[in-house]
Chains A and B, each alone.
Chain A
């Protein structure tokens, strides 16, 4: 295959994208060279095993992906508001809704939340790092390579175009020849392996590395949500691994799992996909619940109402999440009995979720609410998410679903839960923990502008879509010039651009705050209202996190520590701290596996084998790796802590 056949051509939008990608790449290379930052990049970031830095890389990648997915969304909205303009053709539209969905779920929502977990969970439980820091770096680079692989598809080889659910037989070799679907399969496979490893890593970290005395029911609620999420990851992701592998083997090696020939069963894909896909929804919503719980408790300045009920409702949601997958295809024809069972299990989820909503309201009740930006996101979440949840119950009624299925009613529903739930939580969590990560807050005034633009834009964009759906507008349709649909589509597009402006302001705020925000002097950034251990560390957090780990025997331990004047620097008891060494191997190993995946995308088996051999060599190097890390000396800890605490 020559280079001309490899590159996607014929569309001015894609030429524009190619030029801008080229320019940005050249600019980055130039800046790194000009400021002599290559060594810094390698030493501080590419080889890091520090959970805080890995978390920052996750969040940065997620923000870039949010931009990419957001651009896709804008392009779709332009097409739908002006269907006669010929802005996108049908093929391009198919590719865009596919990449939009895939990127937002797999490469934006999950990495964003995993990034926050990376940074915050060890700090909340009094740990020095993850249980397996090397594996953590491996996970990040797996995600990163997967994301890059997926994203180059639109300039090299062509994007996948069978929807983010990639239903067979449409996505099979017969109906979707070419590399597009392979990009989807390999990109998800690679990053999925990383997610699974993160799930295991977080589980062991939380189960084994808590501060002395901290029982499971003393843990901060965000850590609880992470633990429950990790369980879901460990039990759901292998299903995706297999589903993707089977479809890959179908497409590349000619097996017959999902084909129309050889007695294959195309609908088995839908089952496998959603047996992972529905738990996946809870993987991205439970951590969001955790973030809101933390933010609400901090800015309502009291203990979270109904802590145990919150925990148990998360556990019940996690169990139920595995028992509802059929509601994604009630119309498949599984029969009245099966549909009824899944209808009931679906509606049951509303019960624990309702418990959580009332607990948040009860926490707010009669409290002195501080309307900071993080709190605004949390407060906007509650009513918006309820709208999404209630329409979810409507969709869950099997009989009614035959009317709503695949209409814009569904589109509106899941954007209401995923944006109002997950995206709002990502913003709330980022703003809330920003001072912990970077040593300064995000500007509150600009943050409020971003908030209002985004939230109002969100409702203007998606509320009309409920009615478009009820008027019969189906999803994934690129020509919508039905007169009755047009006004609402135009309104919806206006809202989408409002969200875009909100996001732009948010990003500008990152730059503005970096330049102008006051630097933090204490670790307890939010007016001394911090309740959990992450606020007990200094800001910026020293790389070993805690000089001495406090003894914990209650929920919100930092409240009492502050009263008793205790800190995480108990000078007489400082001991040398064991830390893992930095290593570039995870990065290189995943680059090899990324190469192997790239080879499989184009079905160049020799390249896949080369990459795989490289990966295996690095696995062997790993098993021969007896690097035991190093110790931070007591003097160095004392020096660092004294300086940071102004002693």
Chain B
């Protein structure tokens, strides 16, 4: 616990505490990589084990998934813009771009929920086969992360509107931006290794 505060550099890195928290979050993301890797591995092992349920090639639709991908990738970009505004010290710019980010994230979630319900109607649920268990848990874990991230971001926006951009709030916001980009990276892998491969094979 050092109390020295630097006067230069990005706000979130100026205190020792800020630096440590950010490093801790990077390590946490490392653990998250392992967590998702395990889910991807499980999914890969169970690929094709659809039992009596429909196959992914029958159900996956390129349209929906492309829209979801577009929404999430754009949200990652706008999240970057929000951090850029934070560095400029603009609460207004930060809030505006983060709200755009969250709307895009909510859109993504909406499509995902629609997609899951659609699959369930077609006879592919978490219970119908090992493959679909793997699919729903992998995509669902990502979706759950997005949901948590949205709630968390709203709480942070509220805090920033009350406290402005300080060493502490900028650290918090920087961390959620890392989290948001991370979810984007995971989605790229889901898009390619689940949807694209699922549609082809």
Contacts and interface: CB of A to CB of B under 8 A. Distances in A.
A577 B3 CA distance: 8
A131 B129 CA distance: 44
Given A200-B31, A256-B133, A262-B51, A129 B126 contact: no
Contacts, number: 128
B133 A234 contact: no
A257 B134 contact: yes
Given A238-B35, A265-B130, A624 B155 contact: yes
Interface in A212-258: 234-239, 241-243, 245-246, 249-250, 253-257
A579 B49 contact: no
Given A238-B32, A263-B50, A268 B3 contact: no
Given A196-B31, A255-B126, A129 B172 contact: no
A196 B39 CA distance: 18
Contacts of A272: 38, 42
A368 interface: no
Interface residues of A, number: 51
A623 B155 contact: yes
A605 interface: no
Interface in B34-70: 34-35, 38-39, 42, 45-46, 49-51
A237 B42 contact: no
Contact of A235 (B1, B34, B133): B34
A132 interface: yes
A578 B3 contact: yes
A268 B43 CA distance: 11
Interface stretch (B18-26, B83-91, B94-102, B108-116): B18-26
Contacts of A246: 42, 133, 137
Interface residues of B, number: 42
B46 A237 contact: no
Contacts of A361: none
Interface string B153-191: 001100100010000100010000000000000000000
B168 A254 contact: no
A474 interface: no
A383 to B, nearest CB: 37
A620 interface: yes
Contacts of A128: 1
Contacts of A264: 46, 49, 130, 133
Contact of A263 (B32, B49, B136): B49
A203 interface: yes
Nearest to A276: B38
A272 B172 CA distance: 34
B197 to A, nearest CB: 18
B42 A263 contact: no
A256 B1 contact: no
B130 A204 contact: no
A626 interface: yes
Interface string A42-76: 00000000000000000000000000000000000
Nearest to B48: A263
Interface of B is mostly: helix
A623 B152 contact: yes
Nearest to A127: B1
Contacts of B77: none
A413 B136 CA distance: 41
A200 B27 contact: yes
B24 A201 contact: yes
B131 interface: yes
Nearest to B33: A238
Nearest to A237: B31
A613 interface: no
A563 interface: no
Interface string A380-421: 000000000000000000000000000000000000000000
Nearest to A578: B1
B30 interface: yes
Contact of A623 (B16, B20, B127, B172): B172
A196 B19 CA distance: 20
B27 A204 contact: yes
A208 interface: yes
A268 B129 contact: no
A7 interface: no
Given A242-B42, A623-B159, A579 B1 contact: yes
A631 B159 CA distance: 25
Nearest to B126: A255
A92 B1 CA distance: 51
A326 B32 CA distance: 24
B1 A257 contact: no
Nearest to A129: B1
A239 B131 CA distance: 19
A265 B127 contact: no
Contacts of B32: 238
Contact of B45 (A131, A204, A237, A268): A268
A239 B38 contact: yes
B155 A238 contact: no
Given A204-B20, A249-B137, A256-B129, A265 B34 contact: no
Interface in A573-615: 576-580
A263 B34 contact: no
B128 interface: yes
B133 A255 contact: yes
Contacts of A204: 20, 23-24, 27
9 closest pairs, A vs B, by CB?
A: A263-B49, A255-B133, A238-B35, A238-B34, A242-B38, A254-B127, A264-B130, A578-B1, A256-B130
13 contacts: A131-B24, A204-B24, A208-B16, A238-B38, A246-B42, A249-B126, A262-B49, A263-B50, A263-B129, A268-B42, A576-B3, A577-B1, A624-B155
